[in-house]
Amino acid sequence: MEGKQGGYNEIAVPASVFITLRNELAMECGPLPAIHALHAAGYSAGTQAVVGFSGGLEDGPASLAENKFWARIEAFFARRGWGSLTHSHASDAVGLLSSPDWVEATPDEVDEEGSCSFTAGFLSGFLSEVAGGPVAVLEVTCRSRGDDRCTFAFGSESAVHDLYGQLLDGADLDGAVAAL
């Protein structure tokens, strides 16, 4: 057990649990319900993880300066073995979090849907909790699809929905972000 803070328990599990859960859920209920289940579980875990993230902050994470907030998030995930994570400000509508070594991805098993559904949910729950309102997250690149990194776009539900539409229409990520 990593630790207990204010009723929040955190445990460490091998990263392979994501692969097993995704594969078993897909076999039992189908790929799309598996994605939804992992996303929902991630969202719930993300809202709770803010407690661990906030340890030592008297006024909570929203009180941090932007650069300190993103540095703390990067360190938070790295310490827990998720991989390196970098924030970039893509536009006024969306931000990006990306990683060349994200642990949920399975680059040895090509998956056209991507594989970081738990993470997308986790980030959505986490950022929503910090922001005090809904923050949507969309996995826009994934090492499981053969991309060189996993990238998660985040923003308002309408901005992320518009970004998704642009990507579905064939725009590359830079073009889709520029169109917002």
pLDDT in the model for residue 62: 82
Nearest to 168, CA basis, from 138, 134, 136: 138
Q: Half-sphere exposure (CA, 13 Å, Cβ side) for 28?
A: 9
pLDDT at 1: 39
Please determine, looking at this structure, whether the domain spanning 13-178 carries the CATH number 3.40.980.10. no
Where do the structural domains in the chain lie, given as residue ranges? Answer: 13-178
Residue range 4-42, pLDDT digits in tens: 555 678 888 888 888 899 889 999 999 999 999 999 999
Closest CA relative to residue 43, chosen from 104, 159, 134, 142 = 134
The torsion angles phi and psi of 111, rounded to 5 degrees, stand at -135, 110
**Which letter does DSSP use for residue 62 in this model?**
G
pLDDT tens figures, 71-123: 999 999 999 999 999 999 989 999 999 999 999 988 677 666 668 999 999 99
User: Under DSSP, is residue 167 helix (H, G, I), strand (E, B) or coil?
Assistant: helix
Q: How far from each other are the two terminal CA atoms of the chain, in whole angstroms?
A: 43
Q: Which residues pair with 98 in a beta bridge?
A: 86, 151
The contacts of residue 58 (CB under 8 Å, 6+ apart) are none
